[in-house]
Amino acid sequence: MSEQYIYHGAQKLRCGYTTGSCAAAAAAAASEMLLTGRSMGISQIMTPKGTLLKLPVLNAEITCEYASCAIKKDSGDDPDVTNGILVYAKVSRISEGVEITGGEGIGIVTRAGLDQPVGEYAINFVPRKMITSAVSDAAERNDYHGGFRVEISVPGGSELALKTYNPRMGIEGGISIIGTSGIVEPMSSAALVDTIRLEERMRRAEGCRSLLLTLGNYSENYIQKSMPFALERSVKCSNYIGDAIDIALEFGFENVLIIGHIGKLVKLGAGIMNTHSAQADGRMDVLVTCGVLAGADISALREIPSCVTVDAALDILKGCGFLEKTLDILAQRAEYYLNAKVKNTVKIGAVMFSDKHCITVRTPLADELIGIISEEYNG
């Protein structure tokens, strides 16, 4: 494969290839070896993105019953826990068709709403299509008119899966074989949004009408203390609040509640729906604006822009006696922008908290949404 690169800011980052590409390339080589009886050094496949991959074939084995080999996963400059794993394909003859199954280290779907049905191995649709195409091409080249059984495996996949989202999403016993383009783009937000979409789809498949969004560990700790029954059904959206809300509308959720630390969610007061600092900051600007509207002392507000953290800015507002009024206005502004985002089509709200100040800021609909979610999730 000729190396591909993308730019992330000023960084030049090398692309890699997905577990789906590895599985397809291994299947391509193994089926060719099965039909010809000859080992292969390189496996060549075309990804759905149109990139030609030429990948080294490892651990080739040919018997009278099957052929097997592995492709080493290369994630490029993406910090992927699957980087360097070996993805094996073991191919044998059957009378007709292409049967794709999982072996060691491949997870099994246990919840509805995922790419594959419950009880099936977590080898997603696009990789399955790539595998089928790869072995079919081998059959055509070698004038073979029967079928193939393809078993995909990843030694050590069960242990590796514990470092992924799989257990949370209902994939047990191993990793998933995934990828829609066949190529891994480092630092890709698309991969994170795809995970959010998958979790939300699962919640809808479970019958949830209300969606509880969290930003990360702080959010989950808060929920564990205040409404632990809801933690298992929450969806972590990280910084991608706007995308998570759009997906919620797409799937038809009726109620959306966002819970997160005020250090992130304060940005909702300016309508900022991606809270990553590289996208937008505006935290201090929001607090200054809310402080002005609350009538806080101007000399105190002038100190806020130099604060590094929101908690430090809250100290200033508390010191001048306008913390509560400022946060009330923040809650109103956040609700305004959230309603604008959903165009008033669903009930939406947010809960912002600060452990340091022992405060909780709720948008006007938040308490009602907590009640709805409590009743639904406890039902």
> Partners of 11 in the beta sheet?
8
State the average pLDDT over residues 287-316.
95
Residues in the chain: 379
Give the count of alpha carbons within 13 A of 350, CB side only. 31
DSSP state letter for 187: T
Q: Is pLDDT at 379 greater than 80 in this prediction?
A: no
Q: What is the rounded average pLDDT of the residues 299-303?
A: 96
Contact 196/244 with Cβ under 8 angstroms? yes
Q: What is the pLDDT of residues 177-220, one digit of tens each?
A: 998 888 887 656 777 888 899 999 999 999 999 999 999 888 98
pLDDT in tens, 118-160: 999 999 999 999 999 999 999 999 999 999 999 999 999 999 9
Position with higher pLDDT, 230 vs 3: 230
Q: What percent of the chain has pLDDT over 90?
A: 79
* 172-179: average pLDDT: 94
Q: Are 101 and 150 in contact (CB under 8 A)?
A: yes
Residue 289 has pLDDT above 90, yes or no: yes
Alpha helices in 184-322 (DSSP H): 189-205, 217-226, 241-251, 262-265, 283-294, 298-301, 310-319
